[in-house]
Chain A
Amino acid sequence: MTENKSKTDHLRQTVIEPSPKWRLIDFRELWEYRELLFMLALREVQLRYRQTFLGVAWVILQPLVTTVIFTFIFGRLLGAGSDDIQYELFAFAGLIPWNVFSQSLQRGGVSLTRDIRLITKIFFPRVIIPIANAISTLVDFGVSFIILIVLLLVYQVPLSISILSLPLLLVLTLMLSIGVGVIFASLNVYYRDFTYVLPFLIQVWMYASPLAYSSNLIPESLNWIYDLNPMVGIIDGFRWAIFGTITFPMNALIYSFVTSLVIFFLGMFIFRRLERSFADVI
């Protein structure tokens, strides 16, 4: 019995009771579930190109094809500015953060409704699901980054020391996409309409971001409103980090930083508030 006693002593106690209405995500709990987060992210990656002929080649093809299209339409036909950088490189550098953002938003936004069984049958911090989806895009990021290095070598563009700031910019991108993603994910539980809204939002957001064109094309007087889009600072920041030749987008990045942080925490609050009823509503 004493043996049992000592066994109970280090058993973890769980208290199940109604939770306060407003609270932030429990980051300690999240840390305890880090293995599950990793497994779910791994699952997303494993699942993505199952039963495809080209398999992982898709990860390489997707950004390359988009770059080629951008180069023809915006670079050659329309002559969109590229800040004196080879247009192909300019477009590709912008696509790297954009793909991380749009894919983690797209996947994260519909992630809960795709995993209904997980939500109605088993407990774990729900927010892990959209976050795992966001993190799984890091694989695409890694592959794109290697392609970028190859492209830089081919075009004989010297690497800039500012490239060391990429991890920070990447974290910012993930925070923003997770913030927006969890808002959509939780609203989607209640109304599936958001599944259909999401692709439109992403499309509009794409045109509102300096992806195919240079943000220098935006008239000075409109910059204050243009920079409100946190992706402006992030994309320009990526280009600055990679090429080092364009000017540091100070204002836009400050905007990005503040908005991303606000959206991230707002998303966590909303998610947590709605989370309580997920299993009953979904």
Chain B
Amino acid sequence: MTELILKCENLSKQYRIRPTKGMGWRRNQRVLVDDIAQFTNLFRGKKRNNHKVSFWALKDVSFEARRGDILGVIGSNGAGKSTLLKLLSRVTEPSHGRAIINGRVGSLLEVGTGFHSELTGRENIFISGAIIGMSRAEIKNKFDEIVAFSGVEKFLDTPVKRFSSGMEVRLAFSVAAHLHPELLLVDEVLSVGDAAFQQKSLAKIKEVSENGGVILFVSHNMTTIASLCTKAIVLDHGNVIYELGNVPGAIEYYLNFAKQAQLKHKAESKFTQKSTLVKINDFNLIDANGITLDTLTSGAPVDFMIDYSIDPAVNLEDIGFTILIKTLNGDVIANLSSFKEMRTFGISNPSGQACCAIEHLPLAPGTITMSLVVERKGEVLEMIEDVFVGEVDRGGHLREHILKERQGWVEIEHDWRMG
């Protein structure tokens, strides 16, 4: 057994929600009265009794990590991932339970936190370095390394406000990456900079675990989790639903869970909608034989069926549908809009079905989500997120990919020739 770096015991965090009923002054008044009551209670040491409703953002989370571990924390929005990071980085205190950390904690939660736009690159390196916990001597030692890594040598004495946003982020990331902590907290960091810089960053992050540190990696990108982590844990609504264990098991569990949740959600209330003009009754994936699918297949034909009803007062000519296919990170892979095909979609019935047919689905195997947008002359009437969450399976025509984690999101029909 290697040394314990991080141990969480029943780590929990409770938040209070303020009353949101009422508007403006009256609401402010109530909040103020609440706060004063709470403030005076602080001095009397009395229990709080007010209109606030509380919920557990994290409840009894326990796990431990040892030297060299790369932990993936998986969960959908609101699962408690960020709360866990906040607690471990000591930004906020737990409500009960505790965490023990041996060594320094570094975080790539929000790189460039200590950056100030009026200060030069050089000044910012020193200040943000000090803020994340490096000593002055340490920063001086690593200064050249940090600058070289960021690639902004020429602009060191320029105020950061004159930097391009890419340069600023690269410099900030460089500082954070040179802390060499025992526990590194990472939150979807790989969106930093261009591909080459991302590769460099990933290598730098992995260095932490190679040097015996622990990395806690939070993501809803299963591909990254699978390729990077050595162990994973799944959270939902603050609870651990899959104890820290092997990565493929955790991912499978999570995907199943997400699908169940989505089905349940669909069964309960169809979709939560804000528009009163348009109602989406159903959204289905239909295969060539007219059978409803719950997974997609790469290269196979599929129809996206939208069951809608529209307020008869609306000019039907103006209505259009758009289906967005996204990665779990929220990056849009494709935009299928009825407006692209013709000036108007030409809905003839105020209620019925619209179908978007695809002959060969050009998506690579992986997990995707879809959002549905209803527009009227460029104005978004309705936007429903996650009308579909699920997997694209490997179609028969595809061979097993050697570079599995790098198979990308789309399949392009292609032909290799020698010559």
Name A's B-contacting residues (CB within 8 A): 1, 4-5, 7-8, 11-19, 21, 35-36, 39-40, 42-43, 46-47, 50-51, 117-124, 190-191, 273, 276-277, 279-280
| Closest chain B residue to A39, Cβ basis | B130
Contact B67 A40, beta carbon cutoff 8 Å: no
| Closest chain B residue to A48, Cβ basis | B118
Q: How far is the CB of A98 from chain B (nearest CB, A)?
A: 28
Known: A8-B3, A190-B35, A273-B42. A40 touches B110 (CB 8 A): no
For the side of the interface on B, what is the size category? 35 or more
Q: How far is the CB of B67 from chain A (nearest CB, A)?
A: 6
Chain A residues positioned under 8 Å from B130 (CB to CB): 35-36, 39-40
- Interface membership of chain B positions 78-104, coded 1 if the CB is closer than 8 angstroms to chain A and 0 otherwise: 000000001111111111111111111
Contact B110 A21, beta carbon cutoff 8 Å: no
Q: How far is the CB of B56 from chain A (nearest CB, A)?
A: 14
**Is the C-beta of B105 less than 8 angstroms from some C-beta in chain A?**
yes
Chain B residues positioned under 8 Å from A16 (CB to CB): 11, 87-88, 90, 93-94, 98-101
Contact B95 A121, beta carbon cutoff 8 Å: no
The complex places the Cα of A21 from the Cα of B44 at a distance, in Å, of 11
**Is the C-beta of B15 less than 8 angstroms from some C-beta in chain A?**
yes
Q: How far is the CB of B20 from chain A (nearest CB, A)?
A: 16
Known: A11-B182, A43-B116. A17 touches B103 (CB 8 A): no
The complex places the Cα of A26 from the Cα of B399 at a distance, in Å, of 62
Known: A18-B96, A122-B107. A43 touches B127 (CB 8 A): yes
**Is the C-beta of B113 less than 8 angstroms from some C-beta in chain A?**
yes
Chain A residues positioned under 8 Å from B126 (CB to CB): 39
| Closest chain A residue to B97, Cβ basis | A17
Known: A8-B3, A50-B118, A279-B86. A14 touches B113 (CB 8 A): no
Chain A residues positioned under 8 Å from B207 (CB to CB): none
Known: A17-B94, A123-B89, A273-B42. A8 touches B102 (CB 8 A): yes
**Is the C-beta of B123 less than 8 angstroms from some C-beta in chain A?**
yes
Contact B100 A21, beta carbon cutoff 8 Å: no
Contact A122 B100, beta carbon cutoff 8 Å: no
Name the one of B94, B100, B123 contacting A14, with C-beta atoms under 8 angstroms: B100
Known: A16-B98, A47-B119. A39 touches B3 (CB 8 A): no
| Closest chain B residue to A51, Cβ basis | B118
Chain A residues positioned under 8 Å from B123 (CB to CB): 43, 46
**Is the C-beta of B136 less than 8 angstroms from some C-beta in chain A?**
yes
The complex places the Cα of A22 from the Cα of B93 at a distance, in Å, of 14
The complex places the Cα of A14 from the Cα of B5 at a distance, in Å, of 10
Known: A14-B100, A121-B91. A4 touches B45 (CB 8 A): no
Name the one of B32, B114, B119 contacting A46, with C-beta atoms under 8 angstroms: B119
Q: How far is the CB of B84 from chain A (nearest CB, A)?
A: 11
What 7 pairs across the A-B complex have the smallest Cβ distances?
A: A123-B90, A17-B98, A39-B130, A11-B103, A16-B99, A121-B113, A8-B3
Q: How far is the CB of B53 from chain A (nearest CB, A)?
A: 15
**Is the C-beta of B132 less than 8 angstroms from some C-beta in chain A?**
yes
The complex places the Cα of A279 from the Cα of B86 at a distance, in Å, of 9
Contact A280 B15, beta carbon cutoff 8 Å: yes
- Interface membership of chain B positions 1-36, coded 1 if the CB is closer than 8 angstroms to chain A and 0 otherwise: 011000000010001000000000000000010010
| Closest chain A residue to B104, Cβ basis | A12
Chain A residues positioned under 8 Å from B101 (CB to CB): 13-16
Contact A5 B93, beta carbon cutoff 8 Å: no
Name the one of A121, A123, A124, A280 contacting B110, with C-beta atoms under 8 angstroms: A121
Contact B105 A19, beta carbon cutoff 8 Å: no
Contact B99 A118, beta carbon cutoff 8 Å: no
Chain A residues positioned under 8 Å from B87 (CB to CB): 16
| Closest chain A residue to B129, Cβ basis | A39
Which of A36, A46, A119: most chain B Cβ within 10 A? A36
Contact B102 A13, beta carbon cutoff 8 Å: yes
Contact B86 A122, beta carbon cutoff 8 Å: no
Jot down 25 A-B pairs with beta carbons below 8 A, ordered by A.
Answer: A4-B212, A11-B102, A12-B104, A13-B101, A13-B102, A16-B94, A16-B99, A16-B100, A17-B94, A18-B96, A19-B93, A35-B130, A35-B135, A43-B119, A47-B116, A47-B118, A50-B159, A121-B91, A121-B113, A122-B91, A122-B107, A123-B105, A190-B35, A191-B32, A279-B92
| Closest chain B residue to A123, Cβ basis | B90
Contact A117 B2, beta carbon cutoff 8 Å: no
Chain A residues positioned under 8 Å from B97 (CB to CB): 17
Contact A123 B102, beta carbon cutoff 8 Å: no
The complex places the Cα of A193 from the Cα of B133 at a distance, in Å, of 33
Contact A15 B100, beta carbon cutoff 8 Å: yes
Contact B98 A122, beta carbon cutoff 8 Å: no
Contact B67 A4, beta carbon cutoff 8 Å: yes
Chain A residues positioned under 8 Å from B132 (CB to CB): 122
Contact A12 B103, beta carbon cutoff 8 Å: yes
**Is the C-beta of B148 less than 8 angstroms from some C-beta in chain A?**
no
Name the one of A7, A19, A35, A280 contacting B212, with C-beta atoms under 8 angstroms: A7
**Is the C-beta of B131 less than 8 angstroms from some C-beta in chain A?**
yes
Chain B residues positioned under 8 Å from A121 (CB to CB): 89, 91, 107, 109-110, 113
Chain B residues positioned under 8 Å from A4 (CB to CB): 2-3, 67, 212
Contact A118 B3, beta carbon cutoff 8 Å: no
Chain B residues positioned under 8 Å from A123 (CB to CB): 89-91, 105
Chain A residues positioned under 8 Å from B91 (CB to CB): 119-123, 279
| Closest chain A residue to B134, Cβ basis | A35
Q: How far is the CB of B76 from chain A (nearest CB, A)?
A: 22
Q: How far is the CB of A112 from chain B (nearest CB, A)?
A: 14
Contact B100 A13, beta carbon cutoff 8 Å: yes
Contact B131 A122, beta carbon cutoff 8 Å: yes
Name the one of B86, B102, B131 contacting A118, with C-beta atoms under 8 angstroms: B131
Which chain B residues numbered 206 to 246 have a C-beta less than 8 Å away from chain A?
A: 212
Contact A21 B3, beta carbon cutoff 8 Å: no
The complex places the Cα of A46 from the Cα of B32 at a distance, in Å, of 38
Contact B93 A18, beta carbon cutoff 8 Å: yes
Chain A residues positioned under 8 Å from B86 (CB to CB): 279
Contact B127 A39, beta carbon cutoff 8 Å: yes
- Interface membership of chain B positions 33-50, coded 1 if the CB is closer than 8 angstroms to chain A and 0 otherwise: 001000000100100000
Chain B residues positioned under 8 Å from A190 (CB to CB): 35
- Interface membership of chain B positions 256-291, coded 1 if the CB is closer than 8 angstroms to chain A and 0 otherwise: 000000000000000000000000000000000000
Chain B residues positioned under 8 Å from A119 (CB to CB): 91
| Closest chain A residue to B94, Cβ basis | A18
